[in-house]
Amino acid sequence: MLHVTGAGSGRTCDGISRRDFLQAGALGAVGLTLTDLMAAKAQGKVADGHDDRSVIMIFNLGAPSQLDTWDPKPEAPVEIRGPFKAVQTNAPGIQISEIFPRMAQHADKYSLVRSCYHTAAAVHDTGHQMMQTGRLFTGGINSPHAGCALAYLRGRKSDLPPHVILPEPMGRTGGNLPHGQDAGFLGKAYDPFVLMADPSQPNFQVPDLLPPPQIGEVRLDRRRRLREIVDQTVKSFEASNSAELLDENFQAAFRLMTSTQAREAFDLSREPQEVRERYGMTRFGQCCLLARRLIEAGVRFVTINTFITVFDEITWDIHGSKPFTSIEGMRDIVAPMYDQGYTALLEDLAARGLLESTLVCNLAEFGRTPRVNPAGGRDHWPQCWTVYFAGGGVQGGRVVGRSDPIGAVPAERPVEPAEVVATIYHSLGLDLETTLPGPQQRPFPLVDTGKHEIKELF
């Protein structure tokens, strides 16, 4: 999370910012130069007509069962198909589970990918890594979240941060591994801004927006003096009088704290009560509404974690016994909350003319076992699951890929996590061959070589 910044930014005649200068100094320890850094950023230019594109990533932490949600198998035996019926949507030939009645009426806006899979360990954390960064973390190298890579390549376009996580980062999910929700090897300068608050609460406030009374002018003066020290240190490295190197990231927290634009974007009280209720007065519903407000205000990428952990709360993690969730718990609590918040978001974006320029992607770390377990739930299954996309150039009402008759493996058009992340970058207009300044002079293209977007969606 950003902590110390202020207003203003500056660049040399070569377009080099002080953040670039300082980061290049840090990267020098791993063999990279300022030239390498700027060459990488030059590759981040976007395709024509894509500069206004944004992303809302809804990450369904806990992993929904494909068979009980968006890939039902009504002809399979009951121990496979589960307790829910399949219903026809408003898109010809597409059926989903009856537990999402609102989504059934909006299938013309989104397209399903029913053949996602990975071959890593069947633990939540590995799936989190791959689905948000395109890579499994190995050798102590953590790859950046797609939103952080976008922040590095394109920066901010308003007083607000380029990437925001709602309501907070992923917590404990059993693997004790990184989840892939930070900037990784790009460094903390490109970490997301994290809300760390529940927007559905009556006393909802954003801790980092304004200096609370207990901070006072003394602490703000210390921050200003620290900035002056850094200014003087950096100036000692300047090669010419024309090089006014200012660290934009160092300014970001102070800018956020003092920005009227930021305060208004995070202020849900500015929304009519009927709008808030349309999204649902749940944590997820209000996060969806807040995401819409942030996109309108100029945030490039918003990540919504549907849940924070899989333990001791009702989530998608339907093992069937405590501390996990039952299928009935998903039906009665999770599905209604999700159905309401997600469809309200699509409706609102479409009504405001924002859906075409905003990719809404709904991801998960894996699927669920085809056969219901003895506890009446389903266990981890990375061999096949469903993700889906709306807006951002995606054509709605489509199904890409197909699972086998019991939803166990892809039967047609298998899709890997790197292709999902490539689809996000493609929607944003970024060249998939763009390389990031990784450690040990190792090239880090945005996605693994040979991986492409899911072309059938566009």
Q: What is the pLDDT of residues 18-70, one digit of tens each?
A: 444 444 444 443 344 444 444 444 555 556 556 689 999 999 999 999 999 99
- What was the pLDDT predicted at 208? 73
Worst-scoring range by mean pLDDT, 9-13, 211-215, 353-357, 366-370?
9-13
Q: Provide the percentage of residues in the chain whose pLDDT is more than 90.
A: 72
What local confidence, expressed as pLDDT, does residue 257 receive? 73
Q: What is the pLDDT of residue 255?
A: 75
Q: 330: which 2 tokens?
A: 């998903």
- Does residue 237 carry a pLDDT above 70? no
Higher pLDDT, 99 or 220: 99
User: Residue 115 belongs to what H/E stretch?
Assistant: strand 110-116
Give the three-class secondary structure for 269: helix
Q: Any bridge partners for residue 46, and if so which?
A: 430
Q: Looking at residues 221-229, what average pLDDT do you find?
A: 67
DSSP 200-249: TSTT---TTTS--TTTHHHHHHHHHHHHHHHHHHHHTT-SSTT-----HH
SS3 430: strand
The pTM (predicted TM-score) of the whole model is: 0.84
The predicted-structure confidence for 395-427, as pLDDT tens digits, reads as follows: 999 999 999 999 999 999 999 999 999 999 999
DSSP-assigned letter for residue 91? S
Q: Is the peptide bond before 167 cis (omega within 30 degrees of 0)?
A: yes
pLDDT digits (tens, 9 = 90+) for 82-92: 999 999 999 99
Q: Are residues 82 and 371 in contact, defined by beta-carbon separation less than 8 angstroms?
A: no
What is each CA distance from 274 to 72, 270, 288, in whole angstroms?
33, 12, 15
Q: Which of 199-213, 339-353, 362-376 has the lowest mean pLDDT?
A: 199-213
State the burial class of residue 274 (Cβ atoms within 10 Å of its Cβ: 0-12, 13-18, 19+): exposed
Measured CA to CA, the distance from residue 73 to residue 446 in angstroms comes to 36
Spacing of C-alpha 226 from chain mean position: 32
Please report the beta strands in 243-330, taking only residues with DSSP state E, as ranges in sequence order.
301-305
- Complete domains list, the chain, with CATH: 46-212+259-457 (3.40.720.10)
